[in-house]
């Protein structure tokens, strides 16, 4: 079935962007093999001070290659493959390091399309490479966002990226989350009751379906299906930001039984209409400094994404494309090896998660001052601080019932706890950093997010030593913060 016509979602900027005339001429030059080009200022590849790049990567022979690689750091068994300037290889230095097209080199895209096909089997989509998910998302926000638009997101979101959209004049409409991620009924309620006086009804949802940053929540298959149905009902696009897709913890996904890779079905895999724009990244599964990711979209959107790239980063990272193409080639790991690596990686993160949970139970939970949700994917734990037990906690701050002010001083106390923890040698990310303030259209100010920022985001991505030391310091600091404060409050009352 062809994708639905969804071009009306494009922003004015995307529609009105002038074509890059130089690129158009360049395309014509490339048409014929016999054309002598005096057209472009491309440095000749014989001037690149580079002949060969050899990569030494883990051997995939061990049962659990990630733990073998980590345990024998520097001496673990390895395999090598090479990029050459113009000898045969999967993507030559000559090609990869020349100026290329905004979508990325054909060779790298074909390798990545194999990954897509195996894990998502999208019906009718194309791949455009990007410099990681941050780059991909900032492009998507520009593609679909008009100043004055409102986009939907989880009420606690990765604000490093939502703030990018804000600087374009896009507002956020936060949807309540629970331990299972975005609550579809809340999303439906917001869309159904939207008041046009508050601007155009949102036409884009931005979400992180696996191991959401910061809450660590993962959307079940049922929620995914329901959110997709809602997107169809209200003609929404969904930007599926899924950097933690490969870090789903197997034993926690019992729903997944019908696929060989044993991962939850992505929104992309269920996209009948072409309304999913999925962004993937190598940051969490290979290395963040690679700055390489990919956007999978309805083909109709691709020229517009490329036009933004033409006008900004030009094209994706040449070195990263070479490495990934060789990694997935017959002389490298191939798709089968990549799958073995990411399976082993998720087992490693699961062990880290389990260790975090164990230490949290020992060092933090007994005080009753904090509790955690056990994440089923990703690298984050969302810790609730039971601030209502603090002697200086207040929940009567709102002056009038109709005002939008917070009722509690949770935010202030969390800021103090953060400083106190820093003084005691441990850092976390305060929940307030991720909170999207309520939108005036929601008319539901009973519980503003500012009253519910008594959370910390913690990660188990470090070593077990870091987790042990960090949680032990956090547990101690938390007890002191509550006890010491109540002692000084008692003293003040006595004076
Ligand atoms: C939810 C989410 N989206 C996007 C990114 C950025 O990823 P990348 O390194 O691919 O730009 C991150 C990084 O932490 C993230 O957590």
Report the pLDDT value the prediction gives residue 1, as an integer from 0 to 100. Answer: 64
Which ligand 1 atom sits closest to the C-alpha of 134? 11
Ligand 1 centre distance from Cα of residue 243 (Å): 6
Mean pLDDT throughout 52-57? 97
Which ligand 1 atom sits closest to the C-alpha of 281? 10
Ligand 1 centre distance from Cα of residue 297 (Å): 18
Which ligand 1 atom sits closest to the C-alpha of 241? 3
- Structural domain of residue 405, as residue ranges? 350-494
Check whether 355 has a pLDDT greater than 90.
yes
Ligand 1 centre distance from Cα of residue 294 (Å): 12
Let me know if residue 282 belongs to a domain. Answer: yes
Ligand 1 centre distance from Cα of residue 357 (Å): 24
Of all helices (H) and strands (E), which one includes residue 15?
helix 12-16
**Do 307 and 430 belong together in one domain?**
no
Report the pLDDT value the prediction gives residue 330, as an integer from 0 to 100. Answer: 97
CA nearest neighbour of 436 among 151, 135, 148:
151
**Do 210 and 303 belong together in one domain?**
yes
Let me know if residue 113 belongs to a domain. Answer: yes
Ligand 1 first shell, C-beta below 6 A? 132-134, 158, 161, 208, 213, 241, 243, 281, 283, 288, 293
**Do 360 and 259 belong together in one domain?**
no
CA nearest neighbour of 210 among 131, 264, 287, 262:
264
Ligand 1 centre distance from Cα of residue 493 (Å): 48
Which ligand 1 atom sits closest to the C-alpha of 288? 9
Check whether 483 has a pLDDT greater than 90.
no
**Do 177 and 303 belong together in one domain?**
yes
User: Of 313, 338, 365, which residue constitutes the final position of a domain?
Assistant: 313
Ligand 1 centre distance from Cα of residue 161 (Å): 8
Which ligand 1 atom sits closest to the C-alpha of 132? 10
Mutate to test the pocket of ligand 1, among 133, 285, 436 (most ligand atoms within 8 A of CB): 133
Check whether 485 has a pLDDT greater than 80.
no
The C-alpha atoms of residue 426 and residue 370 are separated, in whole angstroms, by 16
Let me know if residue 81 belongs to a domain. Answer: no
Q: How many domains does the chain have?
A: 2
Let me know if residue 174 belongs to a domain. Answer: yes
Q: Where are the alpha helices (DSSP H) in 364-459?
A: 410-423
Ligand 1 centre distance from Cα of residue 143 (Å): 19
Reported as a single tens digit per residue, the pLDDT across 216-257 is: 999 999 999 999 999 999 999 999 999 999 999 975 444 544
The C-alpha atoms of residue 181 and residue 217 are separated, in whole angstroms, by 5
Instruction: Using pLDDT thresholds of 50, 70 and 90, give the confidence band for residue 443.
Output: low
How many CB atoms sit inside 10 A of residue 397's CB?
13
Q: Which of the residue ranges 194-203, 206-215, 437-446 would you say has the lowest mean pLDDT?
A: 437-446
* Backbone CA torsion sign across 353, 357, 363, 364: positive
The C-alpha atoms of residue 454 and residue 444 are separated, in whole angstroms, by 20
CA nearest neighbour of 419 among 409, 430, 410:
430
Q: Where are the alpha helices (DSSP H) in 240-301?
A: none
Q: Which residues contact 377 (CB under 8 A, 6 or more apart)?
A: 210, 211, 216, 218, 244, 245, 247, 248, 249, 252
Reported as a single tens digit per residue, the pLDDT across 58-72 is: 999 999 999 999 999
Reported as a single tens digit per residue, the pLDDT across 326-352 is: 999 999 999 999 999 999 999 999 999
**Do 292 and 385 belong together in one domain?**
no
**Do 215 and 141 belong together in one domain?**
yes
Check whether 152 has a pLDDT greater than 80.
yes
**Do 247 and 309 belong together in one domain?**
yes
**Do 161 and 297 belong together in one domain?**
yes
The secondary structure of residue 199, as a DSSP letter, is: S
Check whether 490 has a pLDDT greater than 60.
no
User: Of 313, 334, 362, which residue constitutes the final position of a domain?
Assistant: 313
Between 367 and 26, the more confident residue is 367
Report the pLDDT value the prediction gives residue 259, as an integer from 0 to 100. Answer: 65
- Cα torsion at 345, 348, 349, 351 (round to 10°)? 160
**Do 288 and 354 belong together in one domain?**
no
Let me know if residue 179 belongs to a domain. Answer: yes
How many CB atoms sit inside 10 A of residue 477's CB?
18
Asked whether the beta carbons of 198 and 440 are under 8 A apart, the reply is yes
CA nearest neighbour of 263 among 121, 133, 374, 120:
120
Let me know if residue 382 belongs to a domain. Answer: yes
Ligand 1 centre distance from Cα of residue 281 (Å): 8
Report the pLDDT value the prediction gives residue 448, as an integer from 0 to 100. Answer: 83
Let me know if residue 362 belongs to a domain. Answer: yes
Of all helices (H) and strands (E), which one includes residue 130?
strand 126-130
Instruction: Using pLDDT thresholds of 50, 70 and 90, give the confidence band for residue 261.
Output: confident
Report the pLDDT value the prediction gives residue 18, as an integer from 0 to 100. Answer: 85
**Do 294 and 147 belong together in one domain?**
yes
Mutate to test the pocket of ligand 1, among 140, 154, 213, 313 (most ligand atoms within 8 A of CB): 213
**Do 217 and 286 belong together in one domain?**
yes
Between 20 and 293, the more confident residue is 293
Let me know if residue 238 belongs to a domain. Answer: yes
Report the pLDDT value the prediction gives residue 253, as an integer from 0 to 100. Answer: 45
Reported as a single tens digit per residue, the pLDDT across 372-381 is: 999 999 999 9
User: Of 293, 313, 333, which residue constitutes the final position of a domain?
Assistant: 313
The rounded mean pLDDT for the chain is 92
CATH code for the domain in which residue 432 is found: 3.90.1150.10
Q: Helix, strand, or coil here: 396?
A: coil
**Do 208 and 270 belong together in one domain?**
yes
The C-alpha atoms of residue 283 and residue 222 are separated, in whole angstroms, by 28
Reported as a single tens digit per residue, the pLDDT across 103-133 is: 999 999 999 999 999 999 988 899 999 999 9
CATH code for the domain in which residue 199 is found: 3.40.640.10
Q: Helix, strand, or coil here: 229?
A: helix
């Amino acid at each position: 079935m062809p994708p639905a016509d969804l071009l009306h979602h494009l922003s004015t900027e995307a529609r009105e962007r002038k074509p890059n005339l130089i690129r158009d001429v360049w395309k014509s030059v490339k048409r014929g093999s016999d054309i002598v080009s005096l057209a472009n200022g491309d440095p000749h590849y014989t001037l690149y001070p580079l002949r060969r790049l050899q990569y030494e990567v883990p051997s995939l022979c061990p049962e659990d290659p990630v733990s073998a690689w980590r345990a024998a750091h520097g001496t673990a068994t390895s395999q090598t493959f090479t990029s050459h300037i113009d000898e045969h290889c999967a993507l030559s230095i000559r090609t990869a390091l020349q100026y290329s097209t905004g979508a990325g080199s054909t060779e790298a895209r074909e390798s990545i399309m194999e990954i897509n096909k195996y894990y998502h089997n999208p019906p009718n989509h194309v791949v455009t490479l990007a410099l990681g998910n941050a780059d991909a998302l900032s492009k998507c926000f520009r593609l679909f966002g008009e100043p004055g638009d409102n986009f939907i997101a989880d009420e606690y979101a990765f604000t490093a990226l939502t703030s990018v959209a804000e600087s374009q004049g896009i507002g956020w409409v936060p949807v309540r989350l629970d331990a299972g991620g975005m609550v579809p009924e809340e999303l439906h309620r917001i869309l159904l009751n939207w008041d046009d006086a508050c601007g155009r009804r949102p036409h884009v949802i931005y979400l992180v379906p696996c191991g959401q940053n910061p809450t660590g929540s993962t959307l079940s298959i049922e929620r995914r299906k329901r959110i997709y149905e809602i997107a169809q009902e209200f003609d929404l696009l969904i930007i599926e930001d899924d950097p933690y897709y490969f870090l789903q913890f197997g034993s926690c996904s019992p729903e997944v039984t019908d696929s060989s890779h044993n991962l939850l079905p992505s929104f992309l895999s269920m996209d009948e209409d072409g309304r999913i724009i999925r962004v993937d990244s190598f940051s969490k599964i290979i290395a963040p400094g690679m700055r390489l990711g990919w956007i999978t979209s309805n083909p109709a959107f691709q020229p517009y994404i490329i036009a933004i790239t033409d006008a900004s980063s030009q094209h994706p990272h040449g070195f990263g494309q070479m490495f990934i193409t060789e990694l997935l080639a017959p002389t490298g790991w191939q798709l089968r090896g990549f799958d073995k690596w990411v399976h082993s990686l998720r087992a490693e993160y699961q062990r880290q998660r389990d260790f975090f949970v164990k230490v949290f139970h020992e060092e933090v939970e007994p005080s009753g001052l904090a509790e955690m949700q056990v994440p089923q994917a990703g690298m984050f734990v969302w810790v609730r601080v039971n601030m209502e037990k603090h002697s200086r906690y207040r929940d009567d701050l709102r002056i009038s019932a109709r005002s939008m002010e917070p009722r509690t001083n949770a935010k202030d106390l969390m800021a103090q706890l953060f400083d106190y923890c820093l003084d005691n040698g441990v850092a976390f990310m305060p929940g307030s950093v991720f909170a999207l303030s309520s939108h005036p259209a929601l008319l539901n100010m009973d519980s503003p997010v500012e009253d519910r920022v008594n959370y910390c985001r913690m990660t188990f991505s470090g070593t077990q030593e870091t987790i042990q030391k960090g949680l032990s310091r956090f547990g101690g600091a938390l007890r002191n913060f509550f006890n010491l404060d109540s002692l000084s409050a008692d003293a003040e009352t006595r004076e």
